[in-house]
């Protein structure tokens, strides 16, 4: 018989963009519900969790770790995801793992021999972007999540780079023309947010004890929300 699986059962949430969902993971992906479209996550997340658990023959109480995509991304989506996870953590008494959204995106293409560049629309002609590479130790950060113009991002890149993220809906053609043969796109089914990417990285954190305090956990915005700007706060 093989070694006993010591990986925890993880319920992961991705709500940072228009495409996201929920996933159950224990050493491998057990099931995932992919959600996309303009309907708010507040109406779809818990029904998706119920559907997933029911079809896997599991109870919510069996979940051992809750994981959430922390941002940057949609202000509204991030707040909904975090509020859902905080509520479940309180009611179930389960630990929480937080994963930065760009890292969760990069985790979708672990076999890439090239640097991976997740790109999200930051509005006002800018993008949220980061740069990663997989090596023998796993996912390694080459450029921490930041906000910059598409032109400035291109200036930071050299050589073939794999792009993914919802920001390509707006800027994919720009990157293709600017970078030429160095612009590579992740496959369509792995190009936008998935809870399985969050779960994959959350497992590594959970096994090493990297848990977050739900009471103090806040979205990773990178810059002020519209409401904060209206109150005179302009920090990133």
Mean pLDDT of all residues in 184-205: 97
What sign for the dihedral angle of Cα 98, 118, 204, 194? positive
In angstroms, the CA 234 to CA 67 distance is: 30
CA distance 148 to 171: 13
Res. 233: pLDDT tops 70: no
CA angle (21 as vertex; 19, 22 as ends), nearest 5: 160
| Rounded mean pLDDT, 113-125 | 96
Q: What is the pTM of this model?
A: 0.91
Render pLDDT for 38-95 as a digit per residue (tens, 0 to 9). 899 999 999 999 999 999 999 999 999 999 999 999 999 999 999 999 999 999 999 9
Q: What are the chain's domains? A: 10-101+193-230 (3.30.420.40), 110-190 (3.30.420.40)
- Confirm if 68 and 79 have CB atoms less than 8 A apart: no
Q: Strand pairing of 161-164 and 183-185? A: parallel
Q: Where are the alpha helices (DSSP H) in 21-145?
A: 45-56, 75-92, 101-106
Note the pLDDT of residue 232: 40
Check if the beta carbon of residue 167 is closer than 8 Å to that of residue 153.
Answer: no
């Amino acid at each position: 018989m093989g070694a006993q699986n010591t990986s925890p059962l993880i319920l992961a949430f991705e709500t940072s963009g228009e495409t996201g969902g929920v996933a159950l993971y224990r050493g491998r992906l057990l099931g995932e519900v992919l959600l996309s479209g303009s309907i708010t996550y507040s109406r779809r997340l818990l029904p998706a969790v119920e559907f997933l658990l029911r079809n896997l023959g599991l109870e919510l109480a069996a979940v051992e770790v809750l994981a959430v995509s922390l941002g940057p991304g949609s202000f509204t989506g991030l707040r909904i995801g975090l509020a859902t996870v905080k509520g479940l953590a309180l009611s179930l008494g389960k630990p929480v793992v937080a994963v930065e959204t760009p890292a969760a995106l990069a985790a979708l293409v672990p076999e890439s021999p090239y640097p991976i560049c997740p790109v999200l629309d930051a509005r006002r002609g800018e993008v949220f972007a980061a740069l990663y590479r997989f090596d023998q130790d796993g996912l390694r950060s080459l450029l921490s999540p930041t906000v910059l113009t598409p032109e400035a991002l291109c200036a930071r890149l050299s050589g073939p780079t794999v792009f993914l993220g919802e920001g390509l809906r707006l800027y994919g053609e720009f990157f293709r023309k600017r970078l030429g043969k160095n612009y590579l796109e992740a496959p369509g089914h792995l190009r936008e947010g998935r809870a399985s990417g969050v779960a994959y990285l959350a497992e590594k954190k959970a096994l090493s004890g990297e848990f977050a305090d739900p009471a103090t956990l806040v979205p990773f915005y990178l810059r002020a929300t519209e409401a904060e700007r209206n109150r005179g706060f302009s920090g990133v």
